[in-house]
Chains A and B, each alone.
Chain A
Amino acid sequence: MKAYKALIALDLKLALRNRSVIFFNYLFPLIFFFIFGQAMHAERGATMTIVISMVLIIGILGNGLFGAGIRAVQEREANILRRYKVTPITPAPLLFASVITGWILYMPNVLLIFTLAHLLYGMPWPQSMSSILIFITIAIVGFRAIGLILASVVNSMQESQLLVQLIYLPMLFLSGATFPLSMFPPWLLVVTQFVPATYMVTGIQGMLLRHEGLAANLQPAMALLLTAFVGLFISYKLFRWEKEEKIRASAKLWLAAVLTPFLLLGLWQVHARTGIAKTKVLNRQLARSDTFLIRGARIFVGDGKVIESGSVLVRGGKIAEVYEGDGPDPKALNAETVEAAGKTILPGLIDVHMHLGAPGGFYPDMSKYATDKSMLRSLAAYLYSGVTTVRSVGDGLDTILKVRSIVSSGEMLGSDLSTCGPLFTAAGGHGTEYFKDLPATVRSNLERQFTRIPTSADEARQQVDELKKRGVDCIKAILEAGAGGRVYNRLDTGLFDAIAQEAHADSLPLSVHTGDVRDVADAVQAQANSIEHGSFREKIPDALFDQMARQGIFYDPTLSVGEAFKDFAAGKTDLLKRSLVQQVGPPELLRGTEEAMGSAETEALRTSLAQYPIDMAIAIDDLTRAHQHGVSLVTGSDAGNYLVIHGPTVQHEMQLWVRAGIPQAVALQAATWNAARLLRADTRIGSVRPGNDADLLVVDGNPLDDITATERISLVVFKGERIDRTELFDQH
């Protein structure tokens, strides 16, 4: 023990007397700190966390490879170890002292950098400093072990310099320590998963940005610990005291042995991809940490209020402040300025009714259609169009939940997804017709995913509870008897009431598909939260609208799907030719749908749909009276049905309303504030208010005068990130 203490004390003194150690350990990281800090605008958003992780990694790499590795070779080459060799000590205290000394020397640096980041760049103190310190400790021990094993396998100073560079440079450039990983193409991201330093960078960034603890970084921490143990053990075994003792060249393979944990981790990551996903999530988080001031625009707040010339300050993913006029000097706010004179800022639009897994048309080869991939792409299409939140009211449960978690984590960029999961219907009810002709095994599987068909009130309640447990955001029930040659079994009212009661008990908004007046009446009776569709064939009585207004039930007329069905039956494809649809629609889908319209295959489908009673005049009349009677309106498109392409759906729905005589402001409020209230998310989205998520749509012109202005998109802000719309589809 004496020897351990004495050697640590000596190593520390020698290090502190060595100018190059002081320079590389303390000054060098500080230089990087300030250069990166200035160059990357570290005062803005969470950029400091990138700077800090870069600086720490550069320091840890240097500390391990040069501080431990090169120094150990130097001591051997200078015949210093030779003198120790004739004393009773083993290599253990020498190796141990090297590791401990490196750690003691490095830690003040960590605290210094965090303090500077806090004082000079306003970075908040990390939530779990202890996790960070432990992680850095493990990193230092691991990298010093790599340095020491390196010293053990080289025969000369030149060899060690070469080998150190061979390890140092890739670690420096491929880990995100010098270039942010967000700049890396996908294939290079895969390479980074084999580089130990990558996990340091993402680990530290995760701890700073996402308040991760050590547990979230267990894999890399264990890999580093393993590297440390293996490295120190082999260094002990291969320890040489004299330069004259040479080691055979094949011993260099031991270095590979030490890096094996990371080879395995990398291979695992190529398979699991959690590391790459984490990298993407971190990049997302960083992009969302931006600070900027959108200045001089008209602001449609969402709840009906309009600021004719105002500014919105976005910071850390949230709307920080809304100002009348230009607001304060952006420099004083450390904010970038986005000049927006002549533009209108709206809350991000919300589509409360769509089926994300349905394509909205025909692909030339439907067998290649992959639901999850298509869903993610569609969410990107919505975001491209400024529809920043969408609600799925009938999709396969497992897939839709998976997709929701992918976008909500930020791993992939796409609009916020809210979902009811499967829909409640009767055996042979609407929703089951799509699976009717499939083989029994396939059908039962699909039905389990897409529908809930309760046979008793208890079962109905149980099914609602189970969905709640799975994490759905709402419950969707179908009340539809059909018409015009398409008839369905209608959900039993007793069962429906049980579903409604349980949904209320579970605090899940209940959305009810209705086909005729009876359906609407039953839904209103059961205190549904929204009436989906209303009716395309029956006039809804004023009294029912009055009741809806009183009860605060939202009315979602989904004019888009009615119009689309009529177009489809008539063989018209105008809806595909809208410019935003052309921008976001998968080219294969648009082409396939155009081609299918002329083919014999869809002929039967179109003939059958033509007989289905859709009277747009009735639907428009219902909508107008709903508005007149004070019913809160919401915008749903039923996208996924033929010719309703995922993307700029809300814009088109609003246009149909305005054409029907609904005021622009009413349509806009339905698409934002009302929809957010239906989703019970109005404390977070649906209005331009401080504290809300910064989901904003900035358009040219004034949609209060001309609703088509909502299609002239200038900027989409999503959770504080100014979306690079051109790159949205590159991620798929």
Chain B
Amino acid sequence: MKGIDFEIQPGEVFGLLGPNGAGKTTTVEILEGLRPRTGGEVAVLGFDPDRQRQQLKDRIGVCLQATNLPEKIRVHEAMQVFASFYGRHVDLNKLLQRLQLEEKRDAFYSTLSGGQKQRLALALALINDPQLIFLDEPTTGLDPQVRVEIHSLLEELKREHRTILMTTHYIEEAERLCDRVAIVDEGRIIALDTPARLQQQSRNASSIAVTCATPFPEDRPAWAEAIHSALDCSGRTLTVNSRHPAGTLVDLVKWIDQQGLELTDVSLKQPSLEDVFIELTGKSLRE
């Protein structure tokens, strides 16, 4: 860890985005009080996780990445046992209902599907009505449709204005769920902002693609704010990158009209977080 410095506001969903080994889990474990820090200052809900571990743990909910429950524990038993660990807990039946685990309340843990296990993990993280929820890679290793299922549950939490710190290496998860995202690489935060602003800040601008019925002429003007343009091999589709795509698009369409070309298609593409990440780190997120 070289430079991690951030603050999470109440009711905010904060994402730590980065590749494996970037330092996300280490950061989260320090915050959860699972791992002592070697330096720096940390306050979580006003507590020092190193020294006020029990108070802190009583107030947070955690959904760990690699964890397990005994095979022969029933869903409702797991809920009861974990409820007994905390100073207070929510109504267990309502929680089961909410996480659609009612039908499975008497099922053994070993008989649950991956999605059900993850829903149970979320239930356990919510059992003490936590002031802060840590979700460490909440959808890693899940099927796409299960991931969608979990996402909708998380969106629900977001709507309740829960304070959540999540780590992920899924860009779309961060885009979809997080209010703010910190991009972590090699133990340091290299960017921190809302997903939208991160996209905007990207030097790598939006791209405009125009397609005509006949090939473009060889010499083309330099449009305002356009960074780069390229023709595809057919010569009929031109891609232009721009920091101000709206203005550039108007200029571009005007020029096509002047040239007497017949415009058949126009598309405008916003940069993704992945693009931002690749641009910032020079690495891919999913190796």
- Chain A residues engaging chain B, CB cutoff 8 angstroms: 2-3, 5-7, 10, 13-14, 17-18, 75, 78-80, 82-90
Is residue B58 within 8 Å, beta carbon to beta carbon, of the partner chain? Answer: yes
Asked if A6 meets B81 with Cβ closer than 8 Å, knowing A86-B34, A88-B57, the reply is yes
For B82, the chain A residues whose CB sits under 8 A away are 87
Report yes or no: B85 in contact with A82, Cβ–Cβ below 8 A. Answer: no
Instruction: List chain A residues, Cβ under 8 A from B54.
Output: 88, 90
Supposing A18-B72, A85-B34 touch, asked if A3 and B85 sit within 8 A by C-beta, the answer is yes
A17 touching B72 by the CB < 8 A rule? yes
- A5, A13, A82, A88: residue with the most chain B Cβ atoms closer than 10 Å: A88
- In this assembly, does B73 line the interface, its C-beta being within 8 Å of a C-beta of chain A? yes
Contacts A13-B77, A85-B34, A86-B62; A78 near B84 (Cβ below 8 A): no
Chain A interface main SS type? helix
User: Which residues of chain A are within 8 angstroms of B85 by Cβ–Cβ distance?
Assistant: 2-3, 6, 84, 87-89
**Interface hub of A6, A14, A82, A87 (most chain B Cβ within 10 A):** A87
In the complex, which of the residues A10, A82, A83, A85 has the most CB atoms of chain B within 10 Å of its own CB atom?
A: A83
Contact assessment for A79 and B67 in the assembled complex, using a CB-CB cutoff below 8 Å: yes
* Chain B residues in the interface with A (C-beta under 8 A): 32, 34, 54-55, 57-58, 60, 62, 64, 66-70, 72-73, 77, 80-87, 124
**A-chain residues with CB within 8 Å of residue B80 when the two chains form the complex:** 6
Given known pairs A10-B73, A87-B57, the reply for A82 and B66 (CB within 8 Å) is yes
Q: Which 8 A-B pairs have the closest CB atoms?
A: A6-B84, A86-B62, A2-B84, A87-B85, A17-B72, A88-B57, A83-B67, A79-B68
Report the separation of the CA atoms of residues A3 and B54 in the bound assembly, to the nearest whole angstrom.
Answer: 14
Can you list 22 contacts pairing A with B, beta carbon distance less than 8 Å? A6-B80, A6-B81, A6-B85, A7-B81, A7-B84, A10-B81, A13-B73, A14-B72, A17-B72, A18-B72, A79-B66, A79-B67, A80-B69, A80-B70, A82-B67, A83-B64, A86-B32, A86-B64, A87-B57, A88-B58, A88-B85, A89-B85
Query: Given the complex of chains A and B, what is the CA–CA distance between A18 and B73 in angstroms?
Result: 11
Least CB distance, B241 to chain A, in whole angstroms = 45
Docked-complex contact A10 and B72, CB < 8 angstroms: no
Give the shortest distance, in Å, between B14 (CB) and chain A (any CB).
18
Name the CB-closest residue of B to A79. Answer: B68
A85-B34, A86-B62, A87-B86 given; A78·B68 CB < 8 A: yes
A470 to B21, CA, bound (A): 83
Q: A5-B84, A88-B54, A88-B86 are in contact. Are A83 and B70 (CB under 8 A)?
A: no
- Chain A positions within 8 Å of B70 at CB level: 14, 75, 78, 80
Closest to A10 in B: B81
Question: How far apart are A74's CB and chain B's nearest CB, in angstroms?
Answer: 9
CB-CB under 8 A from A83, the residues of chain B are 64, 67-69, 124
Contact of B73 with A14 in the complex, beta carbons under 8 Å: yes
Q: How long is the Cα–Cα vector from A90 to B32 in the complex, in angstroms?
A: 15
Q: A residues within 8 A CB of B124?
A: 83
B contact residues around A82 at 8 Å (CB): 64, 66-68
Residues of A within 8 A of B83 (CB): 6
Given contacts A14-B70, A14-B72, A75-B70, contact A86 B57 (CB under 8 A): yes
Minimum CB–CB distance for A105 against chain B, Å: 15
Residues in chain B near residue A2, CB distance under 8 A: 84-85
Q: A87-B85, A88-B58 are in contact. List 13 more A-B contacts (CB 8 A).
A: A3-B84, A3-B85, A10-B77, A13-B77, A14-B73, A18-B72, A79-B67, A79-B68, A80-B68, A80-B70, A83-B124, A86-B62, A87-B82
CA distance A367 to B67 in the complex (A): 77
Query: How far apart are A79's CB and chain B's nearest CB, in angstroms?
Result: 4
A71 to chain B, nearest CB (A): 10
For A85, the closest partner residue in chain B by CB is B34
Chain B residues whose CB sits within 8 angstroms of the CB of A85 once the complex forms: 34
Please, which residues of chain B bring their CB within 8 A of the CB of A79?
Answer: 66-68
Residues of B with C-beta under 8 A to A3: 84-85
With the chains together, A84 CA to B68 CA distance in Å? Answer: 10
- Complex alpha-carbon distance, A31 and B13, angstroms: 60
Separation in Å of the B225 CB from the closest CB of chain A? 50
Name the B residues within 8 Å of A18 (CB-CB): 72
Measured CB to CB, the closest approach of chain B to A19, in angstroms, equals 10
A17 and B71 CA atoms in complex are apart in Å by 10
CB-nearest residue of chain B to A244: B66
* Chain B: minimal CB distance from A365 (Å): 73
Residues of chain A within 8 A (CB-CB) of B67 are 79-80, 82-83
Alpha-carbon distance between A89 and B58 when the two chains are bound, in angstroms:
9
A726 to B68, CA, bound (A): 65
Question: Which chain B residue lies CB-closest to A4?
Answer: B84
Query: B108: nearest residue on chain A (CB-CB)?
Result: A17
- Give chain B residues whose Cβ lies under 8 Å from the Cβ of A84: 85
| Complex contacts, B81 vs chain A, CB 8 Å | 6-7, 10
Q: Which residues of B contact A5 (CB under 8 A)?
A: 84
What are the residues of chain A within 8 A of B86 when measuring CB–CB? 87-88
What CA separation (Å) do A159 and B3 show in the bound complex? 40
Which of A3, A5, A86 gathers most chain B CB within 10 Å? A86
The CA of A7 and the CA of B80, in the complex, are separated in Å by 10
Bound form: Cα–Cα A14–B81 in Å: 13
User: A86 CA to B80 CA in the complex, in Å?
Assistant: 16
Cα separation A13 to B62 with both chains bound (whole Å): 26
